[in-house]
Structure 1
Amino acid sequence: MWSTEIQAFGNYLKIERGLSAHSLDGYVRDVQKFATFMADSPHHDLSPIELEENHILDFFKVLHDLGIEASSQARCLSGLRSFFQYLCLENPDFRDPSVHIKSPQKGRHLPDTLSFDEIELILESNDMSNAQGIRNRAMLEFLYGAGLRVSELVNLKISDIYTDLGLIKVRGKGDKERLVPAGRDAFHYLKLYQEEVRAHMDVKKEAQNIVFLNRRGAALSRVMVFIICKDLAAKAGIEKTISPHTFRHSFATHLIEGGADLRAVQEMLGHESILTTEIYTHLDRAYLSQMVHDFHPLNKSQLNNNHKFID
């Protein structure tokens, strides 16, 4: 009963919603957790279309009592809502039991970012005297210069690069495509990598159209890109927690600080909702507040007065 519906739900997400395998697995896993809870409850004989609001509330009370974070609960509720929306499509008489349930409140996470000077320090710490260093420089330029996700970087195809237009075609979440501009430096180091490194490699058949390769001529893994970024940040003496996503965050933050239109940034990042992009306006306000604190003449005069008092 439940397993049949969950399998059909997975097919719906894949075929009709076009979700990536990663997102699909997450949604299905959340529904399976709820199905397991129901199987162990006094209401184990209920089918999915017989559910009521109190069954879902009981489930989330258990998650709360287990110490599951609000962000994880919210994600789980999102997965269940997608499942119920699917059931509504398949069963016209079904009423979504989650419609009045509020999502658990989660604190808004402001991601770490790098200053432009820190970006330059990382680039300078990269050894360009070897093949991996040339490749790494090109990768960093696209992570920061085009705001790519690490999955988008490792899956970037040669056929999706339009050097003459200064654009690349990116396949993002849900296999959605977008055109993203990249800077001259990104294309400069990409050309260097392609001519000086990639052209001389024994490329695996399945990676012929993949841009960035490992030493064995296969596509790079996301984990490998993470390790590269972390190692270069350590060489540069930067103590922040660095990941490939840090460069994407920095790309967006620096655009907002420079006055870029929020809708344009949303388009370049491939965010489905502008609410996701708005987090960078919070980062920008924090940056501006720090600038006022550090450089406003009134603050400086107060600082000087404090020093005089201390003396």
Structure 2
Amino acid sequence: MTDPHRELADFLRRARAAGDPHRPGLPSDGRIRRVAGLRREEVAFLAGVSTDYYTRLEQGRRIVPSGQVLDALARALDLDEAGRAHLHDLVNAVGAPPGRARQAAVQRVRPGLRRLLDGLESQPALVLGHRTDVLAANRLAGALFADFERMRPRERNYARWMLLSDEARSLFVDWERQARNAVESLRLDAGRTPDDPRTRQLVGELSLAGPEFRRWWAEHRVHRRTFGDKRLRHPVVGELTVGFETLVLPGDGDQVLYVYTAADDPASREALGLLAGLVGPGSVPTSGAGGRHPGDVP
């Protein structure tokens, strides 16, 4: 079981190390800085708490900060929305009664949402759930990225595919940025259910697979994907850029719908249109991202 106090301490230390020592409001003491980021006493000053109190938090002492203190620390560390949410998740885990492990609930996509995905014939779309599990994907998303729905159930995970698939590395022109974002999204989700056995299993598998995941996971950065773009080198239709927007689904706030559209350039629009035209009933011209096992479809 993960020690929530240690997780909180690690996140605070790394957020402090990423802080801007020249930000307004910090008094100058003339001392030479020997490490990057903010000093403990500077974070304490900005948050309006004692240096001793903040030091004990970074030491993993068994302290449960109040909501007011958390908000002050988030401002002092200049956390973004995802960082603030993660900080609160970590403290919620710290304050949870012993033996009350929080596990992620089993998620299923509603039939109506499934029909909506299938009806988006010109936009790739997929639904991600806990730990970046791919809960559903339409035919065009399978053609653009990977045929997730024909993978074994345990393999239907976006972060796992991104980190372990050679095809994903070839598909994304900016693979490192996309893979790092996937790891940081998984970090954010893991903070909500730190004792979820499937999350721990996935993190263990990815940790053994390569140094990149271990390095990015240890940085303890978190990321919430709301919109963005992906640059692809697709083996069927060539290079294109797609943008995405996300929608959190009512009824299950941990299910997120991702809808992709071609970037506003002729080459991308033509490539995605060509791919949509190639997708027909019973055949999906995938990007080659393997792992398909028709006999394993439940």
Normalising by structure 2, we get a TM-score of 0.29
TM-score (structure 1 length as normaliser): 0.29
Q: Which has the higher contact order (CA 8 A, sep 6+)?
A: 2
Larger Rg: 1
Query: Quick check: which one's helix share is greater?
Result: 1
Give 1 or 2: higher strand fraction.
Answer: 2
